[in-house]
Every structure is written in structure tokens, then in C-alpha cells.
A and B are shown apart, each in its own frame.
Chain A
Amino acid sequence: MIFAGGKILPDSERSAVLGRLEEDISQTLGGPPLAAETVLDALETLAAELDSGALDGLIARYAPPGAREELDRVRPQISRKTLEDRLSLELGGLGGPRPFGRAEVRPLGVLLHIAPGNMAGLPAFTAVEGLLTGNLNLVKLPHGDKGLTLAVFQKLTELEPRLAPWLYAFDVPSRDTASLKRLAALAGGIVTWGGDGAITAMRKLAPPGCKLIEWGHRLSFAYLSDWAGLDLSPLARHILRTGGLLCSSCQVIYLDTEYLAVGEKFCKDFLPVLERAAASRYQAPGQAAQGALYTREALLEQIVDRAASDDLVFAGRCCSLVLRRDMELELSHLHGNVLVKRLPRKDLLPVLGRQRGRLQTAGLLCPERLREELAALLARAGVNRITAPGRMSDAFLQEAHDGEYPLRRYVRVVDVENNF
């Protein structure tokens, strides 16, 4: 399906829409600019409909199960106040008087979004960020999008018809490089969400001079120092709740120690905590069965894929811990099956430095007296978010995205000299 001009069209219209897209874009960009106020008003109305339950039918029809819970969690992100705060935090001060004249903040023009499929609503959200900065948005829908994005766009443009010429969505498969190239050729910036594969592919398709904005996949971990007596259950609940699937999910629990015996003791102590979190997370038999199957699979993979290793495996009910002897940050077995490694403070910089550019969140658990020192060390190592272990995947208002303010990347600054 395609979204163009405020309407949902069948895929058979794609070449016709692409054929006149350049002309349509020039016409839109040549007209009055898109004011942030217009976008904020439309979003406020949309959010009110979401709160009133008017969109529940739409969500139930198009979004995957669990999307409603996820949307409720990110709901504060689209409140008017948050978005206004973001505009002033991220773009405030970029424009204004300068000794030579003035600086103006202008949109990049056209943004092509290679939207992610890992969270319902994110394709719409990336387009909203583009709209807020005054850009015209071309969205390549993710493979698994069952129509939610198109429905949201239609709703939004119904509420505010002035947004219609600024929003396009295409259900182009990633292998259709010809269509993607045509879209990329029209864009001033390409916003790519995805793994290494998607990012490398888009770099090849982008014309030279096109700004690349990449929100790649990340790895996160927990860092525990002097943890005796501290509550480990929020970390356990985080591990079970996100299943290791988010950029901010804990993959490895790092222990600030040199001794393997300390690691073993930690695993023995932590496993029952993790099991309790699993039992409360997986209450229905179908969920528990899923957890048990994933854990069984993790244990088999451990046997088959790491036959030569001397890892220590601690298997629990619907969860497991694997104590590995190296220090590298790597992906865990996911779904409540997490890795434990030693990483003494002195080795932190060189070890994490090897993953620089992939690091995201560190969930820090330590006595208060160590907190500032360790947070500073983690920040130096390249970590972009430092939180309590239980809040690693929580969204914080006004937080940066992987170390950057997104809106700032979707605009450019135009310097204008006075008196010439």
C-alpha cells in the first residue's frame, strides 16, 4: 500500500506516484513552510483520540499483540508539552542574531525514513520528528507493518489536512533497490533505522551529498560493583520484560571483580531472583511454555555452538545464566537467558572501547559512594545512557537518542549576512 496526498492507494499506483513525486515535492516545498504549531495541534488532537480509546479499534486491527501496552509506555513522548520542550531543548539557540547578521534554522527539505519494524508506532514517530522540523517525509514501511502506520497517517491528515502534502509512505520491499534509489535521489537526508545490513545497504543507495542519519542497533549491559546487599530484582524484571530484544536491553551482566568464584557465587545468588521474575512475567501456561522452550534452546545452543568453551551454565526455570570467562560485550541468548562476565574497573575502558559506536545503556548497580566515579568511567568508555538497572529500557523525557538530539540532525543552519 501507498500513502500519498492524504490517501491510501494500492501498490499498483506506485509508479504513477513515484513518477510525479519530484513535481509534487517541488510544489509543496515551494509553498508556505510547515509550521511546528500546525504539527503540534494535529498531534494533540490525535493524542486526545488515543487517550479516549477512539483509536483502540485501529490498534487492535493493525498492531501486533502487546502494542497497546507499548504505546501507553511511550505515550508521554507525544504529549504537546514534551514535544515543545524537545523543540526548545534540541533546536533552541541554533538560530538567532550573529555578529555577521543572523542564523536561521531550516529543515533539510525531504527526509527518507527507512522505518524500523521492531516497535509498533515507531515508523509514525520517526515521520513525526521529520514533520516537527518542517521536513517533507517519505517513509519506507517496514516489512511487518500490517497497516498501522498508514492508518495513523490517514487519521493525522484527516485531523489536519494541511499535513497531507508533507507525508508519504511506501510499502517498498528492501530488495526493490530501483524504487529506493528513486526515493533516495529526492531526499536531502536519509534516516535509517535498523541493523548493520540495513545501514550498509542504504549507504550504497544514497547519492553523494545526501546526509545520512543512522539509528543503528545497539548493545547494552548492566554493571555491578560492590553489590552485596543491593536489590537485584529490578534488574531481573528488566531482563524478563524486554527479553533482551531492545537496544537498551541488558545482554551481559558485568561484575566488577577479577575472580571467577565471585562470578559463580553471583550466578547462584541471582538465578533464584531471575526465576522469580520469570514466574511473575510468564503467568499463563503458554507464556511459561515459551520461556521454557527458549531456555531449552539456549542451553542446547550453548552445548552445540560453544562445545570447546569452558563456560559455566546455570539453568533455571524459564531462564538461565551463562558465566563466560572473557570480557567482551556480546549478544546474549535473549528471552531471559543472559550472560555474566567479569570486568574489573581497570579493564573497563579498553574492553568497552572495542564496542564504541555500538554501546547504548549501562544499568549501574553500586553503592551510592561509587556512583559518580563509575558513571564517569562508563561515559568515558562510550556509553550514552546510564540508568538504574530496572529502568534501562524506560523512556526518559528530553533524553537524547544514542548520544544525539535527533531534531538537530533533521535541520540545517543557514547563516545570513546583514548589510551586503
Chain B
Amino acid sequence: MLSRQKLFWLSRAYGLPGSDARFLRAVRDNCAYHIKHCPEYRLICRAEGFSPDCLETIDDLARLPVLPTLFFKRHHVSSMPEWRMAMKVTSSGTSGSFSRVGFDWGCVFAEIPMVLRLGFYHRLVSPVPARYVILGYKPGKQDKMGVARTMFGVTHFAPPVGRFYALKWKDGAYVPDLDGAVRTLSRWGRFPLPVRIVAFPSYLWFGMERMEELGLSVCLPRGSKILLAGGWKQHYAQEVDKPRLYALARKVLGVEEEHIHEFFGAVEHPVFFNTCKKHHFHIPAYARVIIRDVRTLKPLPMGEVGLVNLITPLINATPVTSVMTDDLGCLTPGEDCGCGLSSPYLTILGRAGLNDITTCAAGAAELLGKGEAF
């Protein structure tokens, strides 16, 4: 099983296609592990006539059985007993039910070099201490959300000397405190230590709009950054064009465009996608992305828009080797970006219309809510 560690410890962060052979070997081993230990995954592979031997070239990755994230919401599958897992994480569950993904220790061990290498590459790692304003959840015992974990994780790239959370757990629900966040920003902005804002993009947007409305602005110290995680979720309708977001950040927070970083990931695919200086998500060596036709689910050529299929051999505890997100996106050749990276980049363009589902067909509510009791 060292193939996974070799991929994550030895590969250059954006070493595509240089890491192809290592990636394939790791995926083969990862699949073999799930087939051996996860009865549901075994059944699916058998039904679809797939075995790890089918993976001979990098194009064969398209033959991996693809599991939609919805599958993990309805079936809590795993490839090892809970006591062997390092942790369990849930998705933020915007549609009411949650994915539950277990992480093994080997996965955690493989994540460390990935996060560090990408953190250094994108100049997120700094020895200068920073204060963090988090427009998101505070991780706590009451929840195990992946986003909270990511947001907490990124507060370690520069030594944290203070954290302010804008979403507080109060009487069984999260209460936003944007005004408190604005007050904290103005206070901390007067000190020389850099401030890092970690936020859901939509919250940052609403927060900055509110500041503009109230005529407030701060000029955060040099070295301050904005780190965006968690995607736009249900706020697609209000998604703004990025140039406007950058302009607003400059105006009300004094943070320049090159200091705004965005992350992309999913509980079912915890690879650390980062934006380059041109704000593009290049595919790191630890993942591969296939765009699939929205009707046939067949792989599409570079440039066409479809459902985003994410592949990684990162996790042994849960069979998330090849997952289909609800996101719609497309791939572009890395050279077209101009940032210097040659690995293709992924652009997220929207979301499959998976709305809240309500029903009166007998038994359907129970079926649809099958994953809720976690």
C-alpha cells in the first residue's frame, strides 16, 4: 500500500503527466483495497465488469465505477471498521442529508505532504503570525463538517494568534455575526500583524457588501490574505462576477487581488485544490478530473462542459476513489492560463439542480432522508 504514500510524498505538486504512472499504481491498489474490504463496492465493480487490472493507461481511469455524492448520502459505506478510522467527516448537507466519509490514518499521513507542498507553492505558508477572521463555522463536538475542518486547517499556515468565528453555535443552531466580524476587522486592522480572512465566498460577499453599504472600510496590514473555501453552495443565484469581488476586497478591506486564494474540495474528495495567481484551479498530481456528459455520463473532451468527476487514491476507509459531484464544469489546457503551470485547470460553472426534495408518495420521505440519522 506504499503506492499511495509514494504518490503523495514524492510527486511534484502539479507534476502532470509526470505523476501518471505513480497515480495509476496508487489507484489500482486503492481500488483493490475497496473491492476486498467493502461489500457494496465489490458488488458495483462486479456488476460493471470492472477490476483494477482494467487500469492500464491514464485514460482507463474513466472506467472506474463512478459513485455520485448522493450515493454517500444514502449509503454509509466503508472499507474498514470505525475503530480503525482516524476520523469521520460529514458534508455540509445543504440539501438536508449528509455524506459521511471516514478517513484512515494512512490518508491523514498522505494529506500532510500534499497540504504542505501546495501551501508552500501558493505562498500560504508563512512564519509571520496572523490573526484569523473566519466567516464560517467553528469546529466543535456538535458537528463534523468537512468545511469547518478545512477552515480550521488553513488557520495553521501562518501561526495563529487569534481567531474570530462569525458563525456561532447558539441554542442548537448557527447564528451569523457579520457585524461582529466587521468590528473585529477594524480593530485588528490597526495592528501590524497580518489578518487572514477565511470565508465561504458568499459570506465574504455579503459581508463586504454590508461594509460598503455602511460606508465602512479598513486597510488590512501588509501580508493579509483572503482564503475562500466551501464554494458558493446554494448562493449560485447571487454569484457575482469575480472582478467585482476583487474590486470590492480592494476597496473595503485593502486586500489586493493576488492575495485572494480560493480552495475547492469535497468531503468525498478531500484533495486540496488551490487557485493559481490567475484564479484557476489547476489539477494537482494527487487527483485527476474527468468531465462527463450531462445526459450519457460519457467522458467529454477538453473544453466541454459537463458533470465533474473527481478521482483520487487518497482514502482507504471509504470507497471514494471516483466520485461524481453535483458540480458542472469544464477543463482547459494549463498553458492557456498563463500562470506557468501546465496542468489543466478546472472551472466550476454551476450545479446540477438538486433542490430540497419534498414528497407525499408513501415511504418516499423516508427513502430520501435515509442518510439523516448520523
Contact = CB atoms under 8 A, between A and B. Distances in A.
Contacts of A219: 361-363
Nearest to A66: B355
A297 B295 contact: no
Given A286-B353, A297-B70, A303 B44 contact: yes
B61 to A, nearest CB: 17
B294 A217 contact: no
B351 interface: yes
Of B47, B350, B351, most buried by chain A (CB within 10 Å of CB) is B47
Contacts of A218: 360-362
A331 B363 contact: yes
Contacts of B365: 195, 197, 217
Interface in A285-308: 285-294, 296-297, 300-301, 303-304, 307
A247 B361 contact: yes
Given A292-B295, A293-B326, A317-B296, A300 B361 contact: no
A117 interface: yes
B366 interface: yes
Given A219-B361, A290-B354, A195 B44 contact: no
B358 A293 contact: no
B67 interface: yes
A245 B359 contact: yes
Nearest to A217: B362
Nearest to B362: A217
Contact of B360 (A65, A247, A330, A334): A247
Contacts of B66: 296
Contacts of A197: 365-366
B362 A195 contact: yes
A33 interface: no
Interface string A258-296: 000000000000000000000100101111111111101
A307 B42 CA distance: 11
A293 B44 contact: no
Contacts of A107: none
A117 B297 CA distance: 33
B29 to A, nearest CB: 23
A293 B354 contact: yes
A288 B294 contact: yes
B63 to A, nearest CB: 15
What range describes how many residues of A lie at the interface? Answer: 35 or more
B174 interface: no
A323 interface: no
B68 A293 contact: yes
A398 interface: no
B361 A244 contact: yes
Given A219-B362, A293-B354, A331 B70 contact: no
Interface string B251-278: 0000000000000000000000000000
> By DSSP majority rule, is chain B's interface helix, strand, loop, or mixed?
mixed
B74 interface: yes
Interface residues of B, number: 40
Interface in B14-71: 40, 43-44, 47, 66-68, 70-71
B156 interface: no
Contacts of A251: 361
Contacts of A285: 294, 305-306, 328, 350
A86 interface: no
B356 interface: yes
Contacts of B354: 290, 293
B75 interface: yes
B7 interface: no
A249 interface: yes
Interface of B: 40, 43-44, 47, 66-68, 70-71, 74-75, 294-297, 305-307, 324, 326, 328, 350-368
In the complex, the 5 A-B pairs of residues with the closest C-beta atoms, listed nearest first: A289-B352, A118-B358, A217-B362, A289-B294, A245-B359
Interface of A: 64-65, 116-119, 144, 193, 195-197, 216-220, 244-247, 249, 251, 279, 282, 284-294, 296-297, 300-301, 303-304, 307, 317-318, 330-331, 334, 358
20 contacts: A65-B355, A144-B356, A195-B363, A195-B366, A245-B357, A245-B358, A246-B359, A251-B361, A282-B295, A285-B306, A286-B351, A288-B295, A290-B326, A293-B324, A293-B326, A293-B352, A300-B68, A303-B44, A304-B43, A317-B296
Given A196-B362, A286-B352, A297-B70, 18 more contacts: A195-B362, A197-B366, A216-B362, A246-B361, A249-B361, A285-B328, A286-B353, A287-B352, A289-B294, A289-B306, A289-B307, A290-B354, A291-B295, A293-B354, A296-B68, A301-B71, A303-B44, A334-B359
